[in-house]
Structure 1
Amino acid sequence: MLTTNELRWFHPGTLPSDILVWFQQNCLINQLQPPEVREDVYLYTPGSDFLGIKLRQGKLEVKWRKAELGIVDFGKLVRGKAETWAKCSCSDSTGEIFQPARVLGNAAWVSVRKVRYLQLYQILPDFSLIPLTNHENINNGCSVEITQLIVQNSPWWSLAFEANGDDVRLMANLQATVNSVFNTYQSVELQAANSYAYPHWLGLIKSPNAQ
């Protein structure tokens, strides 16, 4: 089981080009790194924004929110809701069970196409950051990702941080990474009202009047 402290924002529409350029130039160690393109299928569970279930690349992943940590500010342009999540996954050696084709005929399952750029940082004891060139497992780290989403033929985009590590360092790891990454950010304001995890976002997608 993996426990992470997370910040995430969602916005409707196409990913603004200036934000993508900022991310590529200031976050990615390899600016020519191609994005990951994939399709995840989420189970919509009404009223359960604390639980996320999805099929991803032949695996079933389950995430549940362990704690809401409140609103945090990072300068004048960035304000978000920090949360603690736990995740576990299981796979099928036959490659037959956890396949989108088995569930996409059911309205409770939602297909989300993603084009994602991701950078992983190792966080040293003094909370300085080292960008890594691969997605290796590290004891104290944080990933930052920017993703173009297509759901029900509508575009959205998301910016997110996921910090892992020793329990006593989780929040500090998150804060150190967010502070460092947003040091060069000068684009659209990221507000707490748009800061939530995937289960809440799916609720907005399935029930637009809930916003």
Structure 2
Amino acid sequence: MLTTAEMRWFNPGKLPEGVLQWFEQDQLGYLAPAEEREDIYLYVPESEFVGIKLRQGRLEIKWRKAELGDLQFGKVTGKTEKWAKWLCEDASNESFQPQDVMGKKAWVSLKKMRTQRKYRISPEQTIVAISVNDSSDCAECSAGGDRTCSVEITQLEINSNPWWSLAFEASIIDESPLANLKCVAEWIFENYPGELQIENSYAYPTWLDIVV
């Protein structure tokens, strides 16, 4: 089980060019190549605390453990939540296949183009850009456990309608569950070219209840 602190926004329409240019600027550090895929979500009406999807041959289940309050960074305000995630895989490839559920009313296809960054935070609050696949231990951070935060912009298409999302997903320090997320978000949003409203800040289950 993986437990993270998360903050996310959804906006209708195509990703603004200015936001994409801001996210791709060199000063933000290492940028992973864009990833394109199709995820299949189980739509559970009025169930904002649980998310279930098929992704690349496995089943992913997320459960909201707690709401952690609102955060503001200049013209950006978002809701933070604590989520737990479980991954189920089948080496035989007999389970968790999209063709088994596609066409059924409860399952929804979602096309994604995701661009992602990842950062490690030292106990002194120094932020270092790392590869999104980097899971190695950091000598200077080992005393405080995992201190990382991923930031992603995702272009979405559902029922032929475009949306886009900006999200933070951070490891949790028990005594301060939002420390890693806040540290990276404050730095990331120093020159964000616009506003992000709290009424558009929620996780995938809530968004699906809006668009399905």
Whole-angstrom distance in 2 between the partners of 1:156 and 1:118? 17
Amino acid at match of 2:201: S
Structure 1 pair 130–169 and aligned structure 2 pair: CA distance change class (3 A): farther
2:177 corresponding residue in structure 1: 170
Structure 2 gap ranges (5+): 138-145
Is the contact between residue 40 and residue 112 of structure 1 (CA under 8 Å) also seen in structure 2?
Answer: yes
Is the contact between residue 148 and residue 170 of structure 2 (CA under 8 Å) also seen in structure 1?
Answer: yes
Is the contact between residue 60 and residue 88 of structure 2 (CA under 8 Å) also seen in structure 1?
Answer: yes
Give CA-to-partner distance per residue, 1:42-78, whole Å, 9 cap, x none. 1011111100000111110000101111221111x10
2:7 corresponding residue in structure 1: 7
Is the contact between residue 63 and residue 85 of structure 2 (CA under 8 Å) also seen in structure 1?
Answer: yes
1:29 corresponding residue in structure 2: 29
Q: Which of the residues 126, 129, 133 maps onto 1:128?
A: 126
Q: Output aligned runs, 1:13-162, within 5 Å.
A: 13-25=13-25, 29-30=29-30, 33-75=32-74, 77-137=75-135, 139-162=146-169
Structure 1 pair 71–84 and aligned structure 2 pair: CA distance change class (3 A): same
Amino acid at match of 1:18: G
Is the contact between residue 42 and residue 112 of structure 1 (CA under 8 Å) also seen in structure 2?
Answer: yes
TM-score under structure 1 normalisation? Answer: 0.92
Is the contact between residue 27 and residue 119 of structure 1 (CA under 8 Å) also seen in structure 2?
Answer: no
TM-score under structure 2 normalisation? Answer: 0.91
1:194 aligns with 2:200: yes
RMSD of aligned Cα (Å)? 1.4
Is the contact between residue 39 and residue 55 of structure 2 (CA under 8 Å) also seen in structure 1?
Answer: yes
Q: CA deviation at 1:101?
A: 1.0
Whole-angstrom distance in 2 between the partners of 1:26 and 1:80? 25
Give CA-to-partner distance per residue, 1:155-191, whole Å, 9 cap, x none. 000000000143224301110010010012122x100
Is the contact between residue 43 and residue 53 of structure 1 (CA under 8 Å) also seen in structure 2?
Answer: yes
Whole-angstrom distance in 2 between the partners of 1:164 and 1:176? 12
Whole-angstrom distance in 2 between the partners of 1:39 and 1:19? 23
Whole-angstrom distance in 1 between the partners of 2:211 and 2:184? 29
Structure 1 stretches of 4+ moved >3 Å: none
Q: CA deviation at 1:127?
A: 1.7
Is the contact between residue 27 and residue 181 of structure 1 (CA under 8 Å) also seen in structure 2?
Answer: no
Whole-angstrom distance in 2 between the partners of 1:27 and 1:66? 34
**SS of corresponding position for 2:178:** helix
Structure 1 pair 49–134 and aligned structure 2 pair: CA distance change class (3 A): closer
**SS of corresponding position for 2:180:** helix
Q: Percent identity?
A: 52
The number of residue pairs the alignment matches comes to 203
